[in-house]
């Protein structure tokens, strides 16, 4: 590694309160596995061979004022994790991808700190979609309840392109969020939407504004 790149990498670790030696060792190991991953020293990945990257994945290096160096990120990839381009995941995130599940993430967005993903079927996240901190994605009920008039809900979650998901949002199985939508903080989303560019809010979440636009 050239001196300039080595110094840049050292400063990057220092800024993120990541142990440089551990990060360098993990980074080298992942490169040997042909995975372009830069992990914070508090990152643990099981199932590295099940990750397909078309770019660089950074874990734990998002800049914000509330991440702790002690926050641990855990990726348990028993199925497939496919990321289309350069991508960043914040500290303290947990991903549990089931044996037959597939998570596909488009390029250009990011996932902020302390998010939880439990995916046993399918999750699609589109391009340029950003997910704020403390969000939860769950596409499986695990414990089944039977009742009169029950309808079968689809498995999987589909998030479109250019979607902004606010902090503390929860999204459950069968949900589709179209392109350009904004989901307000603390919303609980249990049903799908079909119209693009909605402001979605509440518990349960519903469309409260139309034709919204947003930018970082």
**Contact at 8 Å (CB) between 111 and 132?**
no
pTM (2 decimals)? 0.90
- Bond preceding residue 117 cis, omega within 30 of 0: no
First to last CA, the chain: 34
- Backbone conformation region of residue 118, classed left if phi is above 0, alpha if psi is from -120 to 50, else beta: beta
Q: Residue 4: its pLDDT value, please?
A: 73
Beta strand 205-209 with 199-202: parallel, antiparallel or unpaired? antiparallel
**Contact at 8 Å (CB) between 101 and 119?**
yes
Confidence grade of residue 71 (pLDDT, cut at 50, 70, 90): confident
* Mean pLDDT value across residues 137-151: 75
- For 17-26, write each residue's pLDDT tens digit: 888 899 999 9
- DSSP 8-state symbol, 78: S
The closest alpha carbon to 192, from 214, 160, 162, belongs to 160
Q: Residue 14: its pLDDT value, please?
A: 83
Mean pLDDT of the chain: 91
* Mean pLDDT value across residues 56-84: 90
Percent of the chain with pLDDT over 90: 76
Q: Which two tokens stand for residue 158?
A: 């589909």
CATH class of 3-142+151-209: mainly beta
Lowest-confidence pick of 16-20, 119-123, 125-129: 16-20
**Contact at 8 Å (CB) between 77 and 50?**
yes
Q: Is 90 exceeded by the pLDDT of residue 131?
A: yes
Residue with tokens 């998010």: 115
Helix, strand, coil distribution of the chain in percent, nearest 5: 15, 35, 55
Q: Is 90 exceeded by the pLDDT of residue 152?
A: no
Query: For residues 138 and 120, what is the distance between their CA atoms, to the nearest angstrom?
Result: 8
Give me the residue spans of the domains in the chain.
3-142+151-209
- For 87-104, write each residue's pLDDT tens digit: 999 999 999 999 999 999
Residue with tokens 């089931």: 98
**Contact at 8 Å (CB) between 167 and 182?**
no
Q: Residue 34: its pLDDT value, please?
A: 94
DSSP calls for 146-180: --TT--PPPP-EEE-TT-EE-TT-EEETT-EE-TT
* Mean pLDDT value across residues 103-123: 96
Q: Residue 72: its pLDDT value, please?
A: 92
Q: Is 60 exceeded by the pLDDT of residue 1?
A: no
């Amino acid at each position: 590694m050239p001196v300039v790149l080595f110094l840049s990498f050292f400063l990057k670790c220092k800024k993120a309160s990541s142990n440089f030696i551990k990060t360098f060792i993990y980074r080298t190991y992942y490169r040997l596995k042909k995975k372009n991953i830069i992990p914070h020293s508090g990152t643990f990945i099981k199932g590295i061979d099940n990750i397909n990257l078309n770019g660089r994945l950074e874990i734990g290096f998002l800049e914000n004022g509330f991440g702790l160096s002690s926050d641990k990120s855990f990726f348990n990839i028993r199925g497939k994790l496919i990321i289309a381009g350069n991508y960043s995941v914040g500290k303290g995130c947990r991903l549990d991808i089931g044996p037959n599940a597939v998570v596909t993430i488009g390029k250009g967005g990011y996932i902020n700190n302390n998010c939880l993903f439990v995916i046993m079927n399918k999750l699609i996240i589109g391009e340029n979609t950003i997910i704020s901190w403390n969000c939860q994605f769950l596409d499986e009920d695990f414990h089944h309840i039977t009742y009169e008039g029950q309808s079968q809900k689809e498995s999987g979650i589909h998030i479109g392109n250019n979607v902004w998901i606010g902090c503390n949002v929860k999204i459950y199985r069968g949900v589709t969020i179209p392109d350009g939508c904004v989901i307000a903080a603390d919303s609980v989303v249990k049903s799908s939407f079909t119209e693009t560019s909605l402001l979605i809010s509440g518990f349960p979440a519903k469309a409260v504004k139309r034709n919204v636009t947003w930018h970082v």
